[in-house]
Amino acid sequence: DIQMTQSPSSLSASVGDRVTITCRASQSISSYLNWYQQKPGKAPKLLIYLASSLQSGVPSRFSGSGSGTDFTLTISSLQPEDFATYYCQQSSSMSWTFGQGTKVEFK
């Protein structure tokens, strides 16, 4: 299976900060990389698919980049509703795998 490693595991930030989360795959996954946001007690929500495409309805402050093995999720200006846990997920080959998550907390 392809292993996905996110960093950092958690971070503290303030409203208005630029936040960057990285995800590394154990082998090349081309652009088959998705990003999800999950709030406590809720189902995950798709933010970015195929590395850089913004899911419909997701604010434009979210962006994704990368290909091959290294990927980045950027929140350009953190908003109060963005405090959550973020997961990357590869869909290059079955079985699909997730990163361990990055918790974005209020500083």
Partner 1 sequence: EAQLVESGGGLVQPGGSLRLSCAASGLTLNSYNMNWVRQAPEKGLEWISYISGSGTSIYYADSVKGRFTISRDNARNSLYLQMNSLTAEDTAVYYCATSGNYRLDYWGQGTLVTVSS
Smallest distance, partner 1 to C-beta of residue 79, A:
22
Residues contacting residue 56 through CB under 8 Å, at least 6 positions apart: none
User: Which of 78/85 has CB closer to partner 1?
Assistant: 85
User: Which of 17/22 has CB closer to partner 1?
Assistant: 22
Smallest distance, partner 1 to C-beta of residue 107, A:
22
User: Which of 83/96 has CB closer to partner 1?
Assistant: 96
Distance CA 54, CA 7 (A): 21
Smallest distance, partner 1 to C-beta of residue 101, A:
5
User: Which of 83/98 has CB closer to partner 1?
Assistant: 98
Smallest distance, partner 1 to C-beta of residue 44, A:
6
Provide DSSP, the chain: ---EEEE-SEEEE-TT--EEEEEEESS--TT-EEEEEE-TTS--EEEEETTTEEPTT--TTEEEEEETTEEEEEESS--GGG-SEEEEEE-SSSSPEE---EEEEE-
The site for partner 1 (CB under 8 A) is made up of: 1, 32, 34, 36, 38, 42-46, 49-50, 55, 87, 89, 91, 94-101
